[in-house]
Amino acid sequence: MKLHKEGNTIIPGFVIGVIGIYLLLVWLIPLGIFKLVLGGISAIFLFFVVAFFRVPNIQVPVGDDLVIAPAEGKVVVIEKVMVDEFLEEERTQVSIFMSPLNVHINRAPVSGRINYYRYHPGKYLVAWHPKSSTANERTSICFETSNGVRVFMRQIAGAIARRIAFYKEVDDKVSATDEVGFIRFGSRVDIFLPLEAKLNVKIGDKTTGGETIIAHLR
The residues, any chain, with a CB within 8 Å of residue 57's CB and separated by 6 or more, are none
Q: How far apart are CA 58 and CA 208, in angstroms?
A: 8
| Residue 133: strand, helix, or coil | helix
**What per-residue string of b and e applies to 52-75 under the rule 16 or more CB within 10 Å gives b?**
bbeeeebeeeeeeebbbbbbbbbb
Catalytic positions: 187
202-208: long-range contacts, CB 8 A cutoff, minimum separation 24: 202/75, 202/78, 203/75, 203/76, 203/77, 203/78, 204/74, 204/75, 205/74, 205/75, 206/73, 206/74, 206/75, 207/69, 207/71, 207/72, 207/73, 207/74, 207/75, 207/96, 208/58, 208/69, 208/72
Asked whether the beta carbons of 45 and 19 are under 8 A apart, the reply is: no
